[in-house]
Amino acid sequence: MATGFFHDERTLWHFGAIHTGNIPAGGWVQPSNGNFMAEAPDPKRRIVSLLEVSGVMAKLDRRGAEPADDEALRRVHPRDYLDRFAAMSAGGGGSVGPDGSFGPGGYDIARLSTGLAVAAVEAVLTGALDNAYAMTRPPGHHCLPDQGYGFCLLANGAIAVEAAIARHQLSRVAILDWDVHHGNGTEAIFRDRPDVLTISLHQDNCYPINSGAASERGSGRGEGYNLNVPLLPGGGDQAYLNALDLIVAPALRRYRPELIVIASGVDANALDPLARMLAHSETFRAMMARAKALADELCGGRLVAIHEGGYSEVYVPFCAHALIEELAGVRSAVADPVLEFVRAQQPGDAMRALQRRLLVEQAETLDFAARA
Ligand code: ZN
């Protein structure tokens, strides 16, 4: 038994829109040298590289996967969306929605990315692996059923969860989304359903704008099974760990999931160009430790992390490496070169007290007894 690491080099060949920094090039924005993409392959490739040079990869069960098949995709996406996407892909590329650009073969690469998530969940549910990390690219949590969104072209995590429900007759799956942006796609897909609990921790009103308010808690039969935990910009390490302790842990204990899936963006890191949250590698390690403990307590350790965002070429690898080490229960000699620098920038007492008070208030609204 082991921790699986699902990866395929071809996912790093996906080509999105040309950006300068995090802004689409064009108009007043001069193109940068090197056709830099905001959702570039480099941060993800460097995760894989760091795992290899640290020796951690040798302790993981490294696997690939088949592209997700039509049956799996169709549980989430309508036929006309898939046909439109496939036709554009065959024609050299295009866009299937806001920040939804792709190059030649983008559809096949996206299906492969989804396939990694599906295979990771399946291997954990069959007991072939203890837990798993799916190194998906393009990501998935912003994607809507009929529209790509926010660099996400297929809803990787939602498709993997739907496949698990179909194959294993699950009645309670929890998706914990700690990508720094709101998991609006996952929310939209499961908003009306009680069999999937979605919890999104995100920087308040970062992306998409006007999305992910704490008051959005699902609808119909899904009322109460969709939680949003917006965090103040700059909240840092404490904001995330308090959110896990005050909201996520009691929500999961009340729900008692049979499987926990993490939408594992690492863009809450302090150096990320697409957010302002000041988390560091030890934040991610501690978050994974909490998620793992909850999975052990509630669902026999069945835990799958599916990669989402993370855009700092230098810092994403250290943050992802720390949480993958924690998932696998191993430690290497890798040291975070900016940990001291980021720890020194954590918010002061007044900000920390305010963020904590907001989380305690939300926990009370949800009838979770706030613990000291
Ligand atoms: Zn993100």
83 has a pLDDT exceeding 50: yes
Yes or no: say if 235 and 355 are a contact pair by the CB < 8 Å rule.
Answer: yes
> Stretch 225-251: mean pLDDT, rounded?
98
Residue 176 has pLDDT above 80, yes or no: yes
Helix ranges restricted to H, the chain? 42-54, 70-74, 79-90, 106-125, 156-168, 184-190, 236-243, 249-255, 281-299, 316-328, 339-343, 349-365
Q: Which residues are catalytic?
A: 142
What average pLDDT does range 156-170 have in this prediction?
A: 98
Residue 372 has pLDDT above 60, yes or no: no
* Gap from CA of 268 to ligand 1 centroid (Å): 8
Average pLDDT of span 57-86 = 98
Decide if pLDDT at 143 tops 50: yes
Residue 23 has what pLDDT?
Answer: 84
What superfamily does domain 3-14+39-371 belong to in CATH?
Answer: Histone deacetylase domain (3.40.800.20)
Tell me the mean pLDDT in the region 335-343: 98
Round to whole Å and give the CA distance between 276 and 285.
19
**CA–CA separation, 23 vs 29, rounded Å?**
8
Average pLDDT value for residue range 47-76: 98
| pLDDT value at 31 more than 90 | no
Centre of ligand 1 from the C-alpha of residue 230, in Å: 13
pLDDT at 215 over 80: yes
Q: For the residues of 45-99, what is the DSSP string, one character each?
A: HHHHHHHHHHT-GGGSEEE--PPPPHHHHHTTS-HHHHHHHHHHHHTT-EESSTT
Residue 371 pLDDT more than 50?
no
pLDDT mean across residues, the chain: 96
* Residue 369 binned pLDDT confidence (cut-offs 50, 70, 90): low
Expressed in angstroms and rounded, the spacing between residue 310 Cα and the centre of ligand 1 is 6
| pTM of the shown model | 0.97
3-state secondary structure of 322: helix
Distance between CA atoms of 229 and 188, rounded to whole angstroms?
16
Rounded Cα–Cα distance for residues 126 and 315 (Å): 34
Mean predicted confidence (pLDDT) in 157-183: 98
Q: Cα of 210 to ligand 1 centre, how many Å?
A: 15
Per residue in 117-131, pLDDT tens? Answer: 999 999 999 999 999
Which residues, 6+ apart, have CB-to-CB distance to 132 below 8 Å?
3, 4, 5, 6, 120, 121, 123, 124, 303, 304, 305
Task: Report the C-alpha gap between 314 and 9 in whole angstroms.
Answer: 20
Q: How far does the centroid of ligand 1 lie from the alpha carbon of residue 368, in Å?
A: 27
> Rg (Cα) of the chain, in Å, rounded?
19
Please give the distance, rounded to the nearest whole angstrom, from the Cα atom of residue 265 to the centre of ligand 1. 6
Ion ligand 1 residue ranges (Cβ < 5 Å): 179, 181, 265, 267, 309
For 277-308, how does the pLDDT look when each residue is reduced to its tens digit (9 = 90+)?
999 999 999 999 999 999 999 999 999 999 99
Q: Are 142 and 181 in contact (CB under 8 A)?
A: yes
What is the distance in A from the centroid of ligand 1 to the CA of 181? 4
Share of the chain above pLDDT 70, in %: 98
- CA of 308 from ligand 1 middle (Å) equals 6
* Interval 105-118 mean pLDDT: 98
* Rounded distance between C-alpha atoms, residue 116 and residue 106, angstroms: 15
Buried b vs exposed e over 221-259: b needs ≥16 C-beta within 10 Å? ebeebbbbbbbbbbbbbbbbbbbbebbbbbbbeebebbb
| SS3 category, 19 | strand
* 141 CA to centre of ligand 1 in angstroms: 8
Tell me, in angstroms, the distance from the centre of ligand 1 to residue 261's CA: 16
> For residue 25, what pLDDT is reported?
86
Predicted confidence band at 35 (pLDDT cuts at 50, 70, 90)?
A: low
The rounded Å distance from CA 100 to ligand 1 centre is: 14
Q: Count Cβ atoms within 10 A of the Cβ of residue 71 and give its class: 0-12 exposed, 13-18 middle, 19 or more buried.
A: exposed
Question: What is the distance in A from the centroid of ligand 1 to the CA of 372?
Answer: 30
Q: Residue 18 pLDDT more than 90?
A: no
